[in-house]
Structure 1
Amino acid sequence: MERIRSWACFGGRQEVWRHNSPTLGCAMEFAVYLPPQVAADNAARLPVLYYLSGLTCTWENVTAKAGAQRYAAEHGLILVTPDTSPRGLGLPGEDEAYDFGTGAGFYVDATEPPWAKHYRMYSYVTAELPALVNGHFPADPARSGIFGHSMGGHGALVCAFRNPQQYRSVSAFAPIVAPSQVPWGEKALGGYLGPDRAAWAAYDATQLAATTAWRRPVLVDQGAADEFLDKQLRPQLLQAACVSAGIPLTLRLQPGYDHSYYFIASFIGDHIAHHAAALKA
């Protein structure tokens, strides 16, 4: 790995790293915030929290806009933010739309050509990236949490529900909870996984809720003024699925808030506290 950027931030370091990914078949970048506790005790292994971004984003959006480092420093958490897709592959159609291809990996392992060889963000997030983080930084793999926004909120819920032994906490901002039932998800899952909707269930949090062993608290914040609320997000579907499955979900509908990083910045302190309570217990 190569560290390509580094800044002092709230007593710690905000860094950006580049590496060659065998999972995705290209160079990838990710951001990592190392809180001041890293320098204070070189032998300490700290909890690690992964943040998955939404459509069109890179690692930079949340690191620059959300103010998350202040809270990660307060709670002593390492914060890791990957990119949202492979980049620069030159695949046909890769850069024709904001909601498919570049910046829109949807945290699935594609099975359809030409995407199957490279668009494997689920395996990247759940296997390759944690191995890199645990090997190069003082992260405690037994204390990992995951959260995200929109497409990334979908990814976080899917990763946690499919891997309850790997993650101890999960939360989401305005997640796409039922991609099998909304236009964004139908386009992405159909393109990456093919027309058989049965294959889509592995990446649909509302369907995974019925079979997952996850029983830890789930926190979801949703802006009531979000322009995508009724057509693309539909959090009530996750609420019904969690009630049926016995998963403890706290769904907070926030009046006046939209889909932007102003919304995320307003509540990210609550989310990091939610994760810290689980990861440091």
Structure 2
Amino acid sequence: MATGALKEVSSARCFGGLQKVFEHDSSELKCRMRIGVYLPPQVESEKVPVLYWLSGLTCTDQNFVAKAGAQRVASSLGLLLVAPDTSPRGCNIEGEDESWDFGTGAGFYVNATEEKWKNNYRMYSYVTSELPELIRTNFSVVPDKQSIFGHSMGGHGALICALKNPGAYRSVSAFAPICNPVNCPWGQKAFSGYLGPDREQWKAWDATELVKNYNGPNFSYILIDQGKSDSFLGAGQLLRRILLRVRRKPVCRLY
């Protein structure tokens, strides 16, 4: 298995496979990035499907790798897991480290258009284009078998990546996702900073708005798992019910 542009940082045996961490120079983000990659034992003898995980606010690539325990299931199913970071790192942009919900650790999986951020904060293109190309080039994967899921901000990212790229992902799932960022405080802060004041432009990065106009291949369902005691649900940050109200039948079913 060639590593190409990837530099291996660490490797550990895990449920018969290997949990690795790699670094690479990102052309989209123009900085050094880390990604966690779990290689199931099946990858030694055959090509395997890929499942991309997107983490939430303040997280790094290590949150999912260290805490989720997903390697056990991936090993049994023969899935290659990929966990990227949540934002560019070390870009030295003024203000990127001033708050926990904007800038470092909070890329929101959009392509910024505001002058200050647009050269580095391109997490959407990184996740949907650059990262899959790296994975296809360096690992033994089935090219047309990839899916995506995530949590909170990462759930938002998973939803928009799938809805903006019809047919690119076999499935999309989200745990407590930010479903309607144009109408919640987290999203309004991030979108005004990255995308500017025109709220019409924000809609292109909002899962609720994208579902309204989705015309691609049907998902059999979009799985959204939401705990009723989640404090952010009550605080008006996640807005799952708005997505439930506007979904169009045959686009998806939400559970």
Does TM, scored on the shorter chain, surpass 0.5?
yes
Match of 1:61 in 2: 63
Residue 228 (1) aligns with residue 232 (2):
yes
> What CA distance in whole angstroms lies between the structure 1 residues aligned with 2:241 and 2:254?
12
Match of 1:215 in 2: 218
Do 1:84 and 1:105's aligned partners in 2 also have CA atoms closer than 8 Å?
yes
> What CA distance in whole angstroms lies between the structure 1 residues aligned with 2:75 and 2:103?
34
Correspondence for 1:25 among 27, 30, 37:
30
> What CA distance in whole angstroms lies between the structure 2 residues aligned with 1:156 and 1:214?
17
- Return the letter of the residue paired with 1:7: A
> What CA distance in whole angstroms lies between the structure 1 residues aligned with 2:205 and 2:116?
19
Alignment of 1:111-260 (within 5 A): 111-212=113-214, 213-216=216-219, 217-230=221-234, 231-242=236-247, 244-251=248-255
> What CA distance in whole angstroms lies between the structure 2 residues aligned with 1:177 and 1:183?
12
| Greater share of residues in helix | 1
Correspondence for 1:86 among 88, 91, 116:
88
Q: CA deviation at 1:248?
A: 2.6
Q: CA deviation at 1:74?
A: 1.1
Q: CA deviation at 1:245?
A: 4.5
Match of 1:6 in 2: 11
Q: How big is the alpha-carbon RMSD for the aligned residues of Structure 1 and Structure 2?
A: 0.9
Residue 107 (1) aligns with residue 109 (2):
yes
Residue 35 (1) aligns with residue 35 (2):
no
Deviations 1:46-101 (A, max 9, x none): 10000000000011001111110011111110000000000111101000000000
Do 1:38 and 1:138's aligned partners in 2 also have CA atoms closer than 8 Å?
yes
Number of residues of Structure 1 aligned to a counterpart in Structure 2: 247
- Return the letter of the residue paired with 1:64: A
The unaligned stretches of length 5 or more in structure 2 are 1-5
Deviations 1:176-223 (A, max 9, x none): 000000000000011000000111111100000012224211101001
Q: CA deviation at 1:166?
A: 1.1
Q: CA deviation at 1:241?
A: 2.0
TM-score, normalisation: structure 1: 0.86
Match of 1:73 in 2: 75
Between 145-154 and 165-174, the greater mean CA deviation after superposition: 165-174
Match of 1:261 in 2: none
Q: CA deviation at 1:246?
A: 2.8
Between 206-215 and 25-34, the greater mean CA deviation after superposition: 206-215
Structure 2 SS opposite 1:55: coil
> What CA distance in whole angstroms lies between the structure 1 residues aligned with 2:172 and 2:95?
33
Correspondence for 2:21 among 16, 23, 46:
16
- Return the letter of the residue paired with 2:185: P
> What CA distance in whole angstroms lies between the structure 2 residues aligned with 1:84 and 1:117?
16
The unaligned stretches of length 5 or more in structure 1 are 252-281
Report % sequence identity.
Answer: 55
> What CA distance in whole angstroms lies between the structure 2 residues aligned with 1:156 and 1:226?
20
Structure 2 SS opposite 1:115: coil
Deviations 1:100-147 (A, max 9, x none): 000000000000021001000000000000000000011112000000
